[in-house]
Structure 1
Amino acid sequence: MFYLVASILLSSYLVLSFKIVAKLNLNIFQVIVFNYIACVITGSLFNGNFPVSSSSIGENWFGWALFMGVLFISLFNVVGLTTRHTNVAVASVAYKLSLVIPFVFSIYLYKEEAGFLKIIGIAVALAAVLLTCWPSEKANNKTGSNSRLKIILPLILFVGSGLLDTMIKYVEHQFLNDSNKNDYLVTAFLSAAVIGILLLSFQFATSQQKFSWKALLMGIGIGIPNYFSIWCLVQVLKQYSSNSSAIIPVNNMGIVLFSTLVAWIVFREKLSPLNWIGVLLSLAAIALIAYG
């Protein structure tokens, strides 16, 4: 239970941090690249050494780690853009609306049981996330010029996040154990960092943007909890290996619920009556899935 709560809190912090990035008017991509560099350093210090070497290439999880790194940096950019163009509720909900994808794969690949209450819980969860991110009329007027982005960005998050959660579960189930899980995570973060460094170096060289110390510090502030959010998720999946069809939705709904409430309290984001109904349905969905 500790790792599940930690995963929810840390992942919620990541979504909320992009609101701060937007308020400080920092370059999102620069922050994200520094975040992944911080992830690699954090994982290496936590492991006691830099776990990636030439021998890692021969590991059966290596290709998955590289692909995971590509998804990491791509989705983080989309989360940041979604937060900037809409609000935290939309970003967190769209990011986690994909809970249905790993749920279906868990039932199909691992033959997990899906009781009546669990299926009802998934249906309630989908309704909850839609209502929670349903834009108010004021929000629609404010971002009318970006109406296409408001559809495209959440759609990308839906597919990408679903693939990422499914892949994390698959790799954890097939290849990872206590001796190599940190190697895998650091390799994935290193993959994301290398891609980011190459792109950012090109932008610096062509004067598309300038180095920002604030972006560096913000990247570090995001990177450390980012590493442990994924580490805790892997721990949760190990702990509840036979019930991932429930754990991933509960984790995702917890992130939606917590980040939305914090955004309402701290950033004074407006929640409509429909949004509040979505929040209440989130609680019901978590209970149904957890005990279904």
Structure 2
Amino acid sequence: MLYVFLSICCSVIVSILLKLAKRYQIDVFQAITWNYSMAILLTWVFLKPQIQSLQSAPFYIYSLLGFLLPTLFVVIAASVRFTGIVRTEIAQRLSLFIPIIAAFLLFDEKPTTLKIIGIVLGFAAILCSIPWKRERYKTQRAPANSWIYLFVVFLGMGVIDILFKQMALFKGVPYATSLLLVYVISFVIGLLGLVYLFATKKAKFSWPHIFFGWILGIANFGNILFYLKAHQALASSPSIVFSAMNIGVIVLGSVVGLMVFKEKLTVINKIGIALAIAAIVVISYSNIL
């Protein structure tokens, strides 16, 4: 369970860094772009991808992921900034219901009673987590439509999860190699965006943004590395890793958000946290049966 704990910590550290970015005047887009350069390096060092013939590789999946990852990262940063770590983590973790629903609608999987209960609890948790009232933070007022960030995070993470699952099912290319290619595409897309911003003088090159991005990349890759190692160490109990990871991130993220950043939650929001944990437990248990 040590790997699960480390993965949880890395996941929450990513949210903390995104929360601190505005405070230290870090350009989030630059940081996210350079984050992928570090991810490429760490993937090469720790996962040792094999470079081989890629003629049959699913480049349409790589391209979609390469575009969606940095794009959604920016949205997650905005969500953390305007709605807080707690709500954003819940939206990310509950996105797991999208591939479950897709399995019912697209792949003719038969819904079970437990999975239906889990989905209902999950959507109830999302509704309870939405900041229905406009809230004032220390530096600025959150926009009235800040719930849209949560919705996009929820939907985007679900789509990315489906694409990663399809990538993992493709046996023609090792997973580590596919992951490396996705990071390379994400980095290239980010660099093209930066070139445009620099050329139009809408952004300035600065080493602090790069260093911040590299730290972000270490935490981001650590989350993936330790999650994979947890599944390897507990190969016979994937549901334990799955549930412990998702519940752990929600709990730790809530503690950090409430105690460190003094995020304010209503009673309904707190009920949403409880419902989110219950939904993950139900879905995890349904996968055992």
TM exceeding 0.5:
yes
TM-score w.r.t. length of structure 1? 0.81
Q: Is 2:23 the counterpart of 1:26?
A: no
* Rounded Cα–Cα distance in structure 2 between residues aligned with 1:242 and 1:71: 30
Query: Match for residue 169 of structure 1?
Result: 165
Query: Match for residue 10 of structure 2?
Result: 10
Residue 260 of structure 1: SS of its match in structure 2?
helix
Query: Match for residue 150 of structure 2?
Result: 154
Q: Is 2:257 the counterpart of 1:263?
A: yes
TM-superposed CA distance for 1:37, in Å, is 0.9
1:110–1:7 distance in 2 versus 1, CA, 3 Å: farther
Q: Is 2:88 the counterpart of 1:94?
A: no
TM-superposed CA distance for 1:114, in Å, is 4.4
TM-superposed CA distance for 1:70, in Å, is 0.7
Q: What RMSD over aligned residues (CA atoms) do the two structures have, in Å?
A: 3.3
Q: Is 2:66 the counterpart of 1:69?
A: yes
Q: Is 2:127 the counterpart of 1:130?
A: yes
Query: Match for residue 277 of structure 1?
Result: 271
* Rounded Cα–Cα distance in structure 1 between residues aligned with 2:79 and 2:245: 21
- Whether the 8 Å contact between 2:62 and 2:182 is mirrored in structure 1 is yes
1:59–1:226 distance in 2 versus 1, CA, 3 Å: farther
Q: Which amino acid aligns with 2:204?
A: K
Q: Which amino acid aligns with 1:19?
A: K
Query: Match for residue 112 of structure 2?
Result: 115
Q: Which amino acid aligns with 1:260?
A: S
* Rounded Cα–Cα distance in structure 2 between residues aligned with 1:12 and 1:258: 7
- Whether the 8 Å contact between 1:52 and 1:187 is mirrored in structure 2 is no
- Whether the 8 Å contact between 1:172 and 1:234 is mirrored in structure 2 is no
1:72–1:218 distance in 2 versus 1, CA, 3 Å: same
* Rounded Cα–Cα distance in structure 1 between residues aligned with 2:47 and 2:97: 33
Unaligned runs of 5+ in 2: none
Match of 1:197 among 191, 197, 206: 191
TM-score w.r.t. length of structure 2? 0.82
Query: For residues 30-78 of structure 1, what are the alpha-carbon distances to aligned partners after superposition, in whole Å with 9 as ceiling and x for unaligned?
Result: 1101111111111112244x7557x33x142333122211110110011
- Whether the 8 Å contact between 1:86 and 1:143 is mirrored in structure 2 is no
Higher helix share: 1
Q: Is 2:281 the counterpart of 1:287?
A: yes
